[in-house]
Structure 1
């Protein structure tokens, strides 16, 4: 940033010997580099590599990595270990942001259709820190139903939404998240071993959907699928009382959920024109 200084009469009288520079450069090199990195991330859909960051900023790779690591620690950058890519993180995505509003708007008709087809509650969830936050909920019309409230948080390890999201995170990130929260038993069916949970995530990847079979609530059952094409750690689910939402129903609902997830717009960060 530059600031122009008005000319002082004394400066003129002294022949300019007391004049300060008219233009002052207040830019900070480190901040400029952070801005370059964030601009680069914002322009990329799939993510950027460490080499791209180094080339754009003119930094050595070791220094570029330290910038990215710091941004990641504050949730402004998310790392894909398997592909060696960095993306914008959720530090920029608040509950009131237009980005999530667009995702919610695009998903809501599908959630309503799921509720009407199966008679159970449909949910949209997002990874928020080390828990899942409910971004939108379309409740079942039945008197007895399973439903959280919008803005509520639930554990990553005991919910179908959490499993669907965690199954597509790098394993070291899952381990880190669960080291923070632990795997406390919510019910007698909750998975409380990290190794067992990682085995469960492998099953989720193979099947394409996740199931909470009385693991978060004793009489609850839920099935969820990730919204992979959105490039956000998000998932949709259908949940209901286990007394009427059987495992046979779960398979049928899962098939529809997979189709619905594929039909949701691929880029929630781009506003429709």
Structure 2
């Protein structure tokens, strides 16, 4: 008899709704942001959560203060923030601080945009960017995400990972074709990673943006899957300059994780 009562109580628990309305709305906001590439507006969030704009703004503001959401001041749109990196947040901030002067030094040396990226789930997220001062430049924004398969940052990070893990990520991402030059086959990509490992640096030659060229190196000596890159319009960054840029990036990457002098 007791067993029957237990079964009834278990069934009753399954039938009940224990959800919290506010948490449901937070999840709806985060799901909306995760599905968006270009960011979402306050109106989009209000409609998705069935909230007044004033209430939706308070949700977003609270998430922003905890770094789970970032607001673009130019477009007033919202996107996922760096807070989702979780327990690595402190390590990320230390890496960003140590890398910052080297990003500026490389930018000044080559007058092109320098990027610091880390692996976050199945994509590369831009942790810091020092933009070229030129009017025409190739630059993402801090917090932007790019695919692993089409970027030099992604290749440099992937080259440090086990092949099985890389293949799993590529299968999930389905490797969309972003330009005529994007690598869209897993075996072809693994062949490219073998080249990256031999050379010590990765190249995106019009694979993420048709008129862009980028070279990247992994940052070793840290628990984070991170890389450093230079990106520029292809017309201004000839292939014969790649080795020189890669050498400078490699030197900077070694300094970023070098132990401080005693």
TM-score (norm 2): 0.66
Q: How many Å separate the matches in 2 of 1:96 and 1:163?
A: 21
Q: CA deviation at 1:251?
A: 1.5
Provide runs of 4+ in structure 1 moved above 6 Å.
Answer: none
Q: CA deviation at 1:123?
A: 0.3
Paired position in structure 1 for 2:234: 242
1:106 equivalenced with 2:102 (yes/no): no
Paired position in structure 1 for 2:201: 209
Residues 82-133 of structure 1, C-alpha deviations (whole Å, 9 max, x = no match):
xxxxxxxx99843992221110000000000010000100000000000000
Tell me the SS of whatever aligns to 2:215: strand
1:1-273 alignment, distance < 5 Å: 93-94=85-86, 97-266=89-258
1:226 touches 1:236 (CA, 8 Å); kept in 2? yes
Query: For the aligned residues, what is the CA RMSD?
Result: 2.3
Residues 137-165 of structure 1, C-alpha deviations (whole Å, 9 max, x = no match):
00000000000000000000000000000
Tell me the SS of whatever aligns to 1:230: coil
Q: How many Å separate the matches in 1 of 2:209 and 2:250?
A: 24
Larger Rg: 1
2:219 touches 2:257 (CA, 8 Å); kept in 1? no
2:83 touches 2:89 (CA, 8 Å); kept in 1? no
Paired position in structure 1 for 2:12: none
1:93 touches 1:99 (CA, 8 Å); kept in 2? no
The unaligned stretches of length 5 or more in structure 2 are 1-81
Paired position in structure 2 for 1:22: none
The unaligned stretches of length 5 or more in structure 1 are 1-89
Q: How many Å separate the matches in 2 of 1:102 and 1:245?
A: 31
Q: 1:154 to 1:113 in 2, by over 3 A?
A: same
Give the structure with the larger helix fraction.
2
Q: How many Å separate the matches in 2 of 1:177 and 1:137?
A: 25
TM-score (norm 1): 0.63
Q: CA deviation at 1:266?
A: 4.3
Tell me the SS of whatever aligns to 1:216: coil
Counting matched residue pairs gives 181
Q: How many Å separate the matches in 2 of 1:166 and 1:213?
A: 17
